[in-house]
Amino acid sequence: MNKLGYSILYVCLGLVAVFQIFPLIWLVIFSLKDSREIFASPPLSLPEELKWENYVKVWQGDIAVYFFNSVWYTLVAIILTVILASMATFAITRMKWKLSSFVLGLFMVGLMIPIHSSLIPLFKMFLTVDLIDNPLSIIITYTAYNLPITMMILLGFYYTLPKEIEEAAIIDGCSINRLFFRIILPMTVPVMSTTVIINMIYNWNEFVFVNTFISSDKYKTLTVGIQNFIGQYMTDWGAIGATLVISILPILIAFLFFSNKIVEGISASAVKG
């Protein structure tokens, strides 16, 4: 019975995997055809000739700018989010002060605020301080919105850290700053890797904030910039497919290589009974 149950489970998982992979395979094949072949041949038929020039064409356009904007927005926001969330979590979980629970509650309220409800207040605020059409508006917003979920993942792990390590370090003359950066932070690498991946997925795929706060092409990211390519290559469907493949490739590679880290990090952050 156990073997039969496992067999059924694996068949079901295999079917789910096929349905998940099918759109990616179709998109890659789509991107290597020209417009005539796309409409004249079956969707999953192999190209008569691989049209790698589709990728060259779109890369020579503005997509290179959009790509590198997405990369540096994502990296800077991740670094800021992880460092600030780690500091806040350390202060809340490892230090004794009266308002720690209240401050934690304020951070967790951020999980309940819908993105769309904050667009107008944020736009007015950035307009007041002259940050509209400025990369700082995107980085600040990404950091602020990712802080609550990042802290929530870190909390469970920080609560399980043995206090004896901190006590021994303090007895040896270790300051609070050195304790955090030299001892606590390296110990949280497994769970931090999880938060990095989750932040990366959100930042890379985000559309609403960039579309609202950024108007110049030189500051746009891939998710927003793709709209321009769809208009520019309206009849060149192969180029549109190449643009979409380029946009999903980095996040797909990151997920394939680091998906196990997500499970390990979440397991590490689980509160031990």
- In this predicted structure, the answer to whether residue 10 has a pLDDT above a threshold of 50 is yes
- The pLDDT value recorded for residue 229 is 64
Residues contacting 249, CB < 8 A, separation 6+: none
Q: Could you tell me which residue, 9 or 42, shows the higher pLDDT?
A: 9
CA-nearest of 259, 230, 258 to 244 is: 230
Mean pLDDT of 96-116: 86
- The pLDDT value recorded for residue 266 is 57
- The pLDDT value recorded for residue 77 is 95
Calculate the CA dihedral of residues 95, 101, 102, 105 and round it to 10 degrees.
Answer: 120
- The pLDDT value recorded for residue 52 is 87
Average of per-residue pLDDT values in the chain: 84
Mean pLDDT of 22-31: 87
- In this predicted structure, the answer to whether residue 80 has a pLDDT above a threshold of 60 is yes
Please, are residues 57 and 246 in contact by the beta-carbon 8 Å criterion?
Answer: no
- The pLDDT value recorded for residue 114 is 84
Q: What percent of the chain has pLDDT over 70?
A: 91
Q: What percent of the chain has pLDDT over 90?
A: 23
8-state DSSP, 44: T
CA–CA dist 29, 238 (Å, integer): 9
Tokens of 218: 């030189």
Please, are residues 128 and 169 in contact by the beta-carbon 8 Å criterion?
Answer: no
- The pLDDT value recorded for residue 272 is 46
CB atoms under 10 Å from CB of 32, counted, come to 22
Residues contacting 268, CB < 8 A, separation 6+: 157, 190, 191
CA–CA dist 59, 119 (Å, integer): 31
Q: Could you tell me which residue, 5 or 142, shows the higher pLDDT?
A: 142
Please, are residues 200 and 78 in contact by the beta-carbon 8 Å criterion?
Answer: yes
Count CA atoms within 13 Å of residue 124 on its CB side.
4
- In this predicted structure, the answer to whether residue 37 has a pLDDT above a threshold of 50 is yes
Give the pLDDT band of residue 21 (cuts 50, 70, 90).
confident
Mean pLDDT of 217-242: 76
CA-nearest of 92, 267, 262 to 180 is: 92
- The pLDDT value recorded for residue 136 is 94
CA–CA dist 153, 82 (Å, integer): 11
Summarised one tens digit per residue, pLDDT across range 88-104 is: 999 998 888 888 889 98
- In this predicted structure, the answer to whether residue 177 has a pLDDT above a threshold of 90 is no
- The pLDDT value recorded for residue 167 is 84
Q: Which sign does the torsion angle of CA 15, 19, 24, 28 carry?
A: positive
Domains of the chain: 54-269 (1.10.3720.10)
Calculate the CA dihedral of residues 121, 126, 127, 130 and round it to 10 degrees.
Answer: 170
CA-nearest of 185, 181, 183, 188 to 156 is: 188
- In this predicted structure, the answer to whether residue 270 has a pLDDT above a threshold of 60 is no
- In this predicted structure, the answer to whether residue 79 has a pLDDT above a threshold of 90 is yes
Mean pLDDT of 124-147: 93
Give the pLDDT band of residue 60 (cuts 50, 70, 90).
confident
Mean pLDDT of 201-208: 89
Q: Could you tell me which residue, 141 or 264, shows the higher pLDDT?
A: 141
- In this predicted structure, the answer to whether residue 180 has a pLDDT above a threshold of 80 is yes
In order, the DSSP letters of 173-241 are T--HHHIIIIIIHHHTHHHHHHHHHHHHHHHHH--HHHHHH--SGGG--HHHHHHHHHHHTSS-HHHHH
Give the pLDDT band of residue 64 (cuts 50, 70, 90).
confident
CA–CA dist 159, 152 (Å, integer): 11
